[in-house]
Amino acid sequence: MSFQIVVIGTSLGGLSALKIVLERLPADFSVPIAIVQHRHKESNSGLQQLLQESISLPIREVEDKDEILPRHIYLAPADYHLLVEPGHFALSTDEPVSYARPSIDVLFESAADIYGDEVIGIILTGANHDGMQGLKKIKARGGITIVQEPATAESCIMPEAAISAVAVDWILTLSDIADQMVKLCYLSRK
């Protein structure tokens, strides 16, 4: 099986969690990664800069209709839902979902709709239930589901909600999540 996209959702404590996962990925990690990190709608592009400092893959905030390219990491911009469409992203200002815009559920559900079993969905630390429904949809469509070990999360609410709702494939520490992503994506190319 080859994967078309990795989608990651996180909230409280997400910056440090994302850094640990992303900086362990090799520069030739080819599967595109799309990330929803809950943040204040007034926040600037500081998240991109903070992550890029220690990560070899290029990171960018998505603009509407951006092409989905291999070896890139994409961030949902503040106050916009990020949706996956065939070959590109779309942005939406629809109502918040699970009190969030961008919403993890919106990203995950759209990725599952477009790519079915070629999606890896990952839930990291967070203090609400956003992502639970989206991860459920990825699993239902045959995709791979990974959740951060709740005991290692800055806020365990989001990982625990996901685990309670979905028979997830792996519950892992942050560094093990990166290793598993590499294993899955490299094995799929052979």
Secondary structure of residue 186 in the 3-state scheme: helix
Residues 6+ apart with CB under 8 A from 33: 5, 6, 7, 8, 22, 57, 72, 73, 74
The catalytic position among 11, 98, 103, 110 is: 11
The alpha carbon dihedral of 19, 20, 25, 27 has a sign of: positive
Clarify whether 11 is annotated catalytic. Answer: yes
How far apart are alpha carbons 145 and 162 in whole angstroms? 10
Q: Write down the residue that tokens 């960018």 correspond to.
A: 60
Cβ neighbour number for residue 82 with a 10 Å cutoff:
28
The catalytic position among 98, 110, 130, 155 is: 130
Clarify whether 38 is annotated catalytic. Answer: yes
Q: Alpha-carbon dihedral of residues 133, 145, 34, 127, nearest 10 degrees?
A: 50
Tokens encoding 152: 């290692």
Q: Alpha-carbon dihedral of residues 115, 8, 152, 19, nearest 10 degrees?
A: 140
How far apart are alpha carbons 33 and 121 in whole angstroms? 10
The catalytic position among 2, 38, 79, 129 is: 38
Please identify every residue annotated as catalytic. Answer: 11, 38, 130
